[in-house]
A = this chain, B = another copy of it.
Amino acid sequence: MTSTEPLRVALAGLGTVGGGVIRLLDANRDLITRRAGREIEVVAVSARDRTKDRGFDATRFAWVDDTSALANHQGADVVVELIGGSDGPALTLARATLGAGKGFVTANKAMLAHHGLELARAAEAAGVPLKFEAAVAGGIPVVKGLREGAAANEIARVYGILNGTCNFILSKMEMPDEKGRARDFADVLAEAQALGYAEADPTFDIDGIDAAHKLSLLASLAFGTTPAFDDVDAHGIRQVIAADIAEAAALGYKVRLVGVAEAGAHGLFQRVHPHLVPIDHPLAHVTGSLNAVVAEGNFVGRLFFQGAGAGDGPTASAVVADLIDIARGEFGPAFAMPADSLDVASKADSGERRGRAYLRFTVEDRVGVLAEIAAAMRDAGVSIESLIQRGGHGDDAGAVLVAIVTHDGPERCVAQALEKLRGSSSLAGAPLWMHILE
Q: Which stretch (A5-13, A62-70, A183-191, A323-331) binds chain B?
A: A323-331
Residues of B within 8 A of A151 (CB): 32, 35-36, 320-321, 324
Residue of B whose beta carbon sits closest to that of A316: B299
Judge whether A366 is part of the interface by a CB distance below 8 angstroms.
no
Report whether B139 and A300 are in contact in the complex, using a CB–CB cutoff of 8 Å: yes
Residues of B within 8 A of A329 (CB): 332
Report which of B144, B302, B330, B332 forms a contact with A332, defined as CB distance below 8 A: B330
Judge whether A336 is part of the interface by a CB distance below 8 angstroms.
yes
Judge whether A27 is part of the interface by a CB distance below 8 angstroms.
yes
Cα distance A304–B142 in the bound complex, in angstroms = 11
Kindly report how many copies of this chain are found in the complex they form together: 2
Report which of B303, B308, B336, B338 forms a contact with A300, defined as CB distance below 8 A: B308
Report whether B141 and A150 are in contact in the complex, using a CB–CB cutoff of 8 Å: yes
**What is the predominant secondary structure among interface residues of chain A facing chain B?**
mixed
Cα distance A337–B31 in the bound complex, in angstroms = 10
Report whether A324 and B152 are in contact in the complex, using a CB–CB cutoff of 8 Å: yes
Report whether A150 and B301 are in contact in the complex, using a CB–CB cutoff of 8 Å: no
Report which of B28, B32, B141, B332 forms a contact with A37, defined as CB distance below 8 A: B332
Judge whether A203 is part of the interface by a CB distance below 8 angstroms.
no
Give, as a whole number of angstroms, the nearest-CB distance from A265 to chain B.
Answer: 16
Report which of B20, B150, B282, B338 forms a contact with A321, defined as CB distance below 8 A: B150
Judge whether A346 is part of the interface by a CB distance below 8 angstroms.
no
| Interface size, chain A (Cβ < 8 Å) | 62
Report whether A34 and B341 are in contact in the complex, using a CB–CB cutoff of 8 Å: yes
Report whether B330 and A148 are in contact in the complex, using a CB–CB cutoff of 8 Å: yes
Residues of B within 8 A of A389 (CB): none
Chain A window 200-225, contacts with chain B (Cβ cutoff 8 Å), 1 for yes, 0 for no? 00000000000000000000000010
CB contact under 8 A between A305 and B305, given known A37-B332, A299-B313, A300-B314: yes
Contacts A35-B337, A141-B145, A301-B314 known; 5 new A-B pairs at CB < 8 A: A141-B303, A282-B306, A301-B307, A303-B305, A305-B305
Q: List 30 A-B contacts (CB under 8 A).
A: A24-B152, A27-B154, A28-B152, A28-B298, A35-B224, A35-B336, A36-B151, A37-B332, A139-B303, A141-B149, A141-B303, A148-B325, A149-B321, A150-B317, A151-B321, A152-B317, A152-B320, A152-B324, A297-B317, A299-B316, A299-B317, A300-B317, A301-B307, A303-B305, A303-B307, A304-B304, A304-B306, A305-B306, A329-B332, A330-B330
